Amino acid sequence: MSIPPEELTSDAITASFRLIQRRRGHRFSVDDLATAWEAARAAPEAETFLDLGCGIGSVLLAVAWRLPKARVFGIEAQDVSIELARRNVHENGLDGRVTLFHGDLRDVTRDWQHGPCTLVTGTPPYLPLGTASPSPDPQRAAARIELRGGVEDYLAAAARVLTSDGVVVVCSDGRAPERVVRGAAAAELVPVRRVDIVPRAGRGPLFSVWTCGRTQRAALDHVEVVMRDERGERTEASHEMRRAFGLGP
Protein backbone atom coordinates (compact mmCIF):
# COMPACT_ATOMS: atom_id res chain seq x y z
CA MET A 1 0.00 0.00 0.00
CA SER A 2 1.46 3.33 -1.07
CA ILE A 3 0.46 6.66 0.45
CA PRO A 4 0.91 9.73 -1.79
CA PRO A 5 3.61 12.05 -0.39
CA GLU A 6 1.25 15.02 -0.34
CA GLU A 7 -0.93 13.19 2.19
CA LEU A 8 1.94 12.92 4.69
CA THR A 9 3.71 15.21 7.13
CA SER A 10 7.05 14.78 8.88
CA ASP A 11 7.00 16.05 12.44
CA ALA A 12 9.50 16.15 15.29
CA ILE A 13 8.65 13.59 17.97
CA THR A 14 11.97 13.90 19.84
CA ALA A 15 15.05 16.07 19.45
CA SER A 16 16.39 13.77 16.72
CA PHE A 17 13.53 11.48 15.64
CA ARG A 18 10.80 12.48 13.20
CA LEU A 19 7.38 10.93 12.71
CA ILE A 20 5.82 10.53 9.28
CA GLN A 21 2.03 10.59 9.62
CA ARG A 22 -1.04 11.14 7.48
CA ARG A 23 -2.42 14.67 7.38
CA ARG A 24 -5.98 13.40 7.84
CA GLY A 25 -5.29 10.07 9.49
CA HIS A 26 -4.47 8.99 13.02
CA ARG A 27 -1.84 11.38 14.38
CA PHE A 28 0.52 11.68 17.33
CA SER A 29 -1.32 13.00 20.39
CA VAL A 30 -0.85 13.92 24.04
CA ASP A 31 -1.92 10.35 24.92
CA ASP A 32 1.22 9.08 23.20
CA LEU A 33 3.45 11.73 24.74
CA ALA A 34 2.22 11.07 28.27
CA THR A 35 2.45 7.29 27.89
CA ALA A 36 6.02 7.45 26.56
CA TRP A 37 7.00 9.91 29.30
CA GLU A 38 5.61 7.70 32.05
CA ALA A 39 7.12 4.54 30.53
CA ALA A 40 10.60 6.04 30.39
CA ARG A 41 10.21 7.18 34.01
CA ALA A 42 8.94 3.78 35.17
CA ALA A 43 11.66 1.68 33.53
CA PRO A 44 14.69 3.84 32.68
CA GLU A 45 17.00 0.81 32.50
CA ALA A 46 14.71 -1.49 30.51
CA GLU A 47 16.64 -3.83 28.22
CA THR A 48 13.65 -5.05 26.21
CA PHE A 49 10.61 -2.98 25.33
CA LEU A 50 7.38 -3.97 23.57
CA ASP A 51 4.73 -1.51 22.36
CA LEU A 52 1.34 -3.16 21.90
CA GLY A 53 -0.78 -1.76 19.09
CA CYS A 54 2.12 0.49 18.15
CA GLY A 55 0.21 2.31 15.41
CA ILE A 56 2.52 4.49 13.33
CA GLY A 57 5.24 4.19 15.98
CA SER A 58 4.60 7.27 18.13
CA VAL A 59 5.20 5.75 21.58
CA LEU A 60 7.68 3.24 20.23
CA LEU A 61 9.93 5.94 18.75
CA ALA A 62 9.73 8.23 21.78
CA VAL A 63 10.60 5.47 24.25
CA ALA A 64 13.33 4.13 21.97
CA TRP A 65 14.88 7.60 21.96
CA ARG A 66 14.83 7.75 25.77
CA LEU A 67 16.13 4.15 26.13
CA PRO A 68 18.90 3.99 23.51
CA LYS A 69 20.22 0.60 24.68
CA ALA A 70 16.87 -1.21 24.70
CA ARG A 71 15.86 -3.87 22.20
CA VAL A 72 12.49 -2.76 20.86
CA PHE A 73 9.44 -4.64 19.55
CA GLY A 74 6.12 -3.40 18.22
CA ILE A 75 2.87 -5.11 17.23
CA GLU A 76 0.29 -3.49 14.93
CA ALA A 77 -2.67 -4.98 13.05
CA GLN A 78 -3.88 -2.03 10.98
CA ASP A 79 -2.45 -2.03 7.43
CA VAL A 80 -1.81 1.69 6.92
CA SER A 81 -0.37 2.11 10.41
CA ILE A 82 2.12 -0.76 10.15
CA GLU A 83 3.30 0.57 6.80
CA LEU A 84 4.02 3.95 8.36
CA ALA A 85 5.57 2.37 11.46
CA ARG A 86 8.03 0.44 9.28
CA ARG A 87 8.91 3.59 7.39
CA ASN A 88 9.38 5.56 10.61
CA VAL A 89 11.65 2.88 12.05
CA HIS A 90 13.76 2.83 8.89
CA GLU A 91 14.02 6.57 8.38
CA ASN A 92 15.09 7.12 11.99
CA GLY A 93 17.88 4.56 11.62
CA LEU A 94 16.36 2.00 13.99
CA ASP A 95 16.27 -1.09 11.78
CA GLY A 96 18.95 -2.79 13.86
CA ARG A 97 17.13 -2.24 17.18
CA VAL A 98 13.44 -2.53 16.32
CA THR A 99 11.39 -5.54 15.19
CA LEU A 100 7.79 -4.97 14.08
CA PHE A 101 5.05 -7.60 13.80
CA HIS A 102 1.96 -7.16 11.62
CA GLY A 103 -0.86 -8.87 13.47
CA ASP A 104 -3.38 -8.82 16.29
CA LEU A 105 -1.60 -8.23 19.60
CA ARG A 106 -3.83 -10.83 21.27
CA ASP A 107 -2.56 -13.50 18.87
CA VAL A 108 1.09 -12.45 18.54
CA THR A 109 1.67 -12.45 22.30
CA ARG A 110 0.17 -15.95 22.67
CA ASP A 111 2.96 -17.32 20.49
CA TRP A 112 5.70 -14.96 21.68
CA GLN A 113 9.15 -16.42 21.04
CA HIS A 114 11.38 -13.40 21.56
CA GLY A 115 12.08 -13.54 25.26
CA PRO A 116 10.40 -11.71 28.15
CA CYS A 117 10.17 -7.91 28.10
CA THR A 118 11.06 -5.60 30.97
CA LEU A 119 8.78 -2.82 29.69
CA VAL A 120 5.46 -3.11 27.84
CA THR A 121 3.34 -0.16 26.75
CA GLY A 122 -0.05 0.30 25.14
CA THR A 123 -2.41 3.11 24.15
CA PRO A 124 -5.63 1.22 23.40
CA PRO A 125 -8.76 2.82 21.95
CA TYR A 126 -11.31 3.89 24.57
CA LEU A 127 -14.71 3.22 23.00
CA PRO A 128 -16.29 -0.27 23.15
CA LEU A 129 -17.98 -1.62 20.06
CA GLY A 130 -21.48 -0.23 19.65
CA THR A 131 -20.95 2.91 21.73
CA ALA A 132 -19.94 5.18 18.81
CA SER A 133 -20.00 5.25 15.03
CA PRO A 134 -16.64 4.22 13.55
CA SER A 135 -14.87 6.57 11.17
CA PRO A 136 -15.03 5.57 7.48
CA ASP A 137 -11.24 5.83 7.57
CA PRO A 138 -10.00 2.40 8.79
CA GLN A 139 -6.91 3.81 10.48
CA ARG A 140 -8.84 6.41 12.47
CA ALA A 141 -11.57 3.91 13.32
CA ALA A 142 -9.05 1.45 14.77
CA ALA A 143 -7.51 4.17 16.93
CA ARG A 144 -10.87 5.15 18.47
CA ILE A 145 -13.09 2.04 18.57
CA GLU A 146 -12.13 -1.21 20.34
CA LEU A 147 -12.18 -3.27 17.16
CA ARG A 148 -9.54 -5.66 18.53
CA GLY A 149 -10.14 -5.31 22.24
CA GLY A 150 -9.71 -2.67 24.89
CA VAL A 151 -7.43 -2.02 27.83
CA GLU A 152 -8.26 -5.40 29.39
CA ASP A 153 -6.91 -7.20 26.31
CA TYR A 154 -3.77 -5.06 26.32
CA LEU A 155 -3.10 -5.90 29.96
CA ALA A 156 -3.63 -9.62 29.31
CA ALA A 157 -1.28 -9.51 26.33
CA ALA A 158 1.35 -7.61 28.32
CA ALA A 159 1.23 -10.14 31.16
CA ARG A 160 2.07 -12.95 28.72
CA VAL A 161 5.46 -11.47 27.85
CA LEU A 162 6.44 -9.48 30.96
CA THR A 163 9.47 -10.31 33.10
CA SER A 164 8.91 -11.02 36.79
CA ASP A 165 10.13 -7.53 37.74
CA GLY A 166 8.94 -5.68 34.63
CA VAL A 167 6.30 -2.97 34.29
CA VAL A 168 3.33 -2.37 32.02
CA VAL A 169 2.34 1.21 31.18
CA VAL A 170 -1.06 1.71 29.56
CA CYS A 171 -3.24 4.68 28.71
CA SER A 172 -6.96 4.45 29.47
CA ASP A 173 -10.17 6.44 29.58
CA GLY A 174 -10.03 8.73 32.61
CA ARG A 175 -13.76 8.21 33.17
CA ALA A 176 -13.48 4.45 33.65
CA PRO A 177 -10.62 3.58 36.04
CA GLU A 178 -12.45 0.42 37.11
CA ARG A 179 -11.68 -1.18 33.74
CA VAL A 180 -7.96 -0.99 34.43
CA VAL A 181 -8.35 -2.29 37.98
CA ARG A 182 -10.42 -5.27 36.81
CA GLY A 183 -8.24 -5.92 33.78
CA ALA A 184 -5.05 -5.86 35.82
CA ALA A 185 -6.50 -8.26 38.39
CA ALA A 186 -7.60 -10.67 35.65
CA ALA A 187 -4.07 -10.58 34.19
CA GLU A 188 -2.52 -11.06 37.66
CA LEU A 189 -1.02 -7.57 37.54
CA VAL A 190 -1.09 -4.90 40.23
CA PRO A 191 -1.54 -1.15 39.55
CA VAL A 192 1.28 0.75 41.27
CA ARG A 193 0.86 4.25 39.81
CA ARG A 194 -1.93 6.25 38.18
CA VAL A 195 -1.34 9.58 36.46
CA ASP A 196 -4.48 11.52 35.57
CA ILE A 197 -3.93 13.85 32.62
CA VAL A 198 -6.10 16.96 32.85
CA PRO A 199 -6.29 18.91 29.57
CA ARG A 200 -7.03 22.26 31.24
CA ALA A 201 -7.20 23.50 34.82
CA GLY A 202 -10.66 23.13 36.31
CA ARG A 203 -11.67 20.16 34.18
CA GLY A 204 -11.72 16.44 34.86
CA PRO A 205 -9.06 14.03 33.59
CA LEU A 206 -9.13 13.33 29.86
CA PHE A 207 -7.27 10.05 30.32
CA SER A 208 -5.06 8.25 32.81
CA VAL A 209 -1.70 6.53 32.41
CA TRP A 210 -1.35 3.48 34.63
CA THR A 211 1.79 1.59 35.60
CA CYS A 212 1.32 -2.04 36.66
CA GLY A 213 3.71 -4.72 37.90
CA ARG A 214 3.65 -8.32 39.04
CA THR A 215 3.57 -7.48 42.74
CA GLN A 216 2.36 -4.71 45.03
CA ARG A 217 5.27 -2.41 45.85
CA ALA A 218 3.45 0.14 48.02
CA ALA A 219 0.16 2.00 48.13
CA LEU A 220 -1.04 3.16 44.72
CA ASP A 221 0.76 6.36 43.75
CA HIS A 222 -1.96 8.64 42.35
CA VAL A 223 -0.98 11.99 40.83
CA GLU A 224 -2.53 14.57 38.52
CA VAL A 225 -0.84 16.42 35.68
CA VAL A 226 -2.52 19.56 34.30
CA MET A 227 -1.45 20.30 30.71
CA ARG A 228 -2.83 23.86 30.36
CA ASP A 229 -3.74 26.52 32.90
CA GLU A 230 -6.99 28.53 33.09
CA ARG A 231 -5.80 30.83 30.28
CA GLY A 232 -5.00 27.91 28.00
CA GLU A 233 -1.24 28.30 28.34
CA ARG A 234 0.98 25.24 28.71
CA THR A 235 1.88 24.49 32.31
CA GLU A 236 5.39 23.79 33.56
CA ALA A 237 4.41 20.10 33.81
CA SER A 238 3.48 20.13 30.14
CA HIS A 239 6.79 21.74 29.20
CA GLU A 240 8.64 19.22 31.37
CA MET A 241 6.98 16.36 29.52
CA ARG A 242 8.11 17.76 26.17
CA ARG A 243 11.62 18.51 27.43
CA ALA A 244 11.99 14.85 28.40
CA PHE A 245 12.14 14.13 24.66
CA GLY A 246 14.30 17.10 23.74
CA LEU A 247 11.38 19.17 22.45
CA GLY A 248 11.15 22.90 23.02
CA PRO A 249 8.05 25.00 23.75
pLDDT for residue 122 is more than 90: yes
pLDDT in tens, 135-194: 999 999 998 999 999 999 999 999 999 999 999 999 999 999 999 999 999 999 999 999
Q: Reduced to 3 states, what is the DSSP secondary structure of residue 115?
A: coil
Residue 185 and residue 173: Cα distance in Å, rounded? 18
What is the pLDDT, as a whole number, of residue 1?
Answer: 62
What is the pLDDT, as a whole number, of residue 56?
Answer: 98
**Average pLDDT of the chain, as a whole number:** 95
Domain boundary assignment for the chain:
5-243
What is the pLDDT, as a whole number, of residue 217?
Answer: 75
| Mean pLDDT value across residues 203-230 | 93
Do 78 and 41 form a contact (C-beta atoms < 8 A)? Answer: no
Q: What is the rounded (10 degree) CA torsion for 238, 241, 243, 247? A: -80
Residue 129: pLDDT band with limits 50, 70, 90: confident
pTM over 0.85, yes/no: yes
pLDDT for residue 10 is more than 70: yes
DSSP 147: B
Domain spanning 5-243: CATH 2.40.33.10: no
Residue 225: pLDDT band with limits 50, 70, 90: very high
Q: Reduced to 3 states, what is the DSSP secondary structure of residue 172?
A: strand
Per DSSP, the residues of 187-234 read TT-EEEEEEEEESSTTS--SEEEEEEESS--SS-EEEEEESB-TTSPB
Residue 209 and residue 3: Cα distance in Å, rounded? 32
| Mean pLDDT value across residues 100-105 | 98
Residue 14: pLDDT band with limits 50, 70, 90: very high
Q: Reduced to 3 states, what is the DSSP secondary structure of residue 91?
A: helix
Closest listed residue to residue 177, CA positions, set 210, 218, 132 = 210
- CA–chain centroid gap for 124, Å, is 7
Looking at per-residue pLDDT, the higher value among 3 and 233 belongs to: 233
Percent of the chain past pLDDT 90, that is, above it, reads 89
What is the pLDDT, as a whole number, of residue 172?
Answer: 97
Amino acid type, 79: D
| Mean pLDDT value across residues 131-137 | 90
Q: Which residues pair with 19 in a beta bridge?
A: 11
Closest listed residue to residue 52, CA positions, set 109, 151, 122, 149 = 122
